[in-house]
Structures are given as C-alpha cells and as structure tokens.
Amino acid sequence: MRSPTTIEIKGLSYAFGDRTVLHQLDLTVEGGSTVALLGPSGCGKSTLLKLLAGLLQPQQGEIRFGDRAIASPQSSLPPERRDIGMVFQDYALWPHMSVAQNVGFPLLMRRVPTAERLTKTMIALERVGLASFALRRPADLSGGQQQRVALARAIIAEPGILLFDEPLSNLDRDLRESLSREISTLLRQLGTTAVYVTHDREEAEAIANHIVHLSQGSVTAIQAVTPLSGEIA
C-alpha cells in the first residue's frame, strides 16, 4: 500500500472579479486524515474545493499533494491528473448509464482492461452495499442509494485524495447520520486523505479527525475531533 497523500495549501487567494473569496489561506491536511471544512453558506468552501480539484486555478499561493506541486498562478494540473475522487451534493450520475457503468466510468477513461474494470466495479459496489443494484439505472434508486453510487465511482480508481462537497445535504436527517458513519468507516478502511465540506456541525464531527472553521475566506479555528466515548473504532 502506498503512503497517504498530505495536502499542503499555502497563501491561497481567490477572487471572483472584485469579490475576494479566499484570503491568503494556509492549511495542511495530514496524509490519511479527514478534514471537515465547516462554515456558513458563501464563506468560500466550494471555491476552496474547486481549487483542490483543479476546476479553478489559484490567483495567489500554491497547492501541493505530497511531494507534487499541483497548482499555482503559473501552472495547474488538470483534474484527471491529480489522483483525486469527488462527490458532489447532486450526485452527478449519468442517467442513461447503469449503476455499474457509472461506477466503472473512471476506469473506462483510463483504458483499464474490461475484466479488471468489471471486477473492480463490483468490489466498489460491494463496499457501498449496492452490488445487487449494478444493472439498475440511477433514476430507479433513492437519493441515499444514488449518493452511494457516486461514492463507489469516486473510490474505484483508489485515489490518494477524496473531495466531498456537501454530499449529504439533499438527504433527510436519519440518512445523513447513517451515511456519514458509513463514509467515515470507509475512509478509515481505505486510508484516503479527505476534505469534506459541510455546513452541518454534527456531520463534520461524525466524519472528520479535524474540523477547520472557515469564515469569509480564512481559517478561523482548527478543532481536533475526539471519537465519541464508548464508540469502538
């Protein structure tokens, strides 16, 4: 197993026109740990995640993943070369493809041989408890199941880093609780470094090792999360 990927963000700034969204932000995420980015709507959480994903390029500062320089104002690796997986609020599944085709798509793009792709697809679907749904269409599944499919697709290529943008906010409270526990267990099993954006403190506490509080584009506090007493990891 390879060593987990550390994320290092230094002096990161980003503005949309004259609206500054991130100011000189510094943050380190230890390899294999999960950081929740917690803050009110509009504070810059998604912008930071898009900079990590390569959907935006820094205007100042730099991002490193392990010993790789990933992004700066001078250069920016495209998303597909960053060794990341992403899960969004709206699932972003392709409606015309089966569940298995959705999950296996990242391996199809990487030209992984068919037999290996199908095997890995079923392993990823088993990890999220959906092996028996492989041939269904996303529209036949509940919201929680669709988000599990998106999760399987995000982990299938075994990325070093997983990025989550409010993945559970379309789901009801009970589902949020059970899915946040599942995601937390999965992240620990995989040893993947993760950045998890949410505006829900309970969800952040259920998932993360550290909670990073963002306000107006800056880190205002970093809080270590201790596992609930009585809970066995």
What's the rounded Cα separation, in Å, for the pair 86 and 197? 11
Determine which residue in the list 2, 41, 139, 230 makes contact with ligand ADP, applying CB under 6 A.
Answer: 41
145 in contact with Mg ion (CB under 5 A): no
The token pair that represents 122 in the structure block: 């079923």
Q: Which stretch binds ligand ADP (CB under 6 A): 45-53, 104-112, 123-131, 177-185?
A: 45-53
Supply φ then ψ for residue 231, to 5 degrees: -85, 130
Selected binder of Mg ion within 5, 6, 33, 46 (CB under 5 A): 46
Between 105 and 196, CB nearer to ligand ADP: 196
206 class by beta-carbon count within 10 Å (0-12 exposed, 13-18 middle, 19+ buried): buried
Q: What is the token pair recorded at 30?
A: 């230890």
Residue 42 binds to ligand ADP (criterion: CB under 6 A): yes
Binding partner selected for residue 43 from Mg ion, ligand ADP, none, CB under the kind-specific 5 to 8 Å limit: ligand ADP
Q: Residue 21: which of ligand ADP, Mg ion, none does it interact with, CB under 5 to 8 A by kind?
A: ligand ADP
Beta-strand relationship, 193-198 and 34-38:
parallel
Span near ligand ADP by CB under 6 A; candidates 41-49, 74-82, 152-160, 200-208:
41-49
Contact with ligand ADP (CB under 6 A): which of 9, 21, 155, 195?
21
Beta-carbon contacts of residue 157 (< 8 Å; ≥ 6 apart): 85, 106, 107, 110
Dist. CA 224–CA 233, nearest whole Å: 17
* 47 binding ligand ADP? (CB under 6 A): yes
- Binding site residues, ligand ADP, CB under 6 A: 16, 19, 21, 39, 41-47
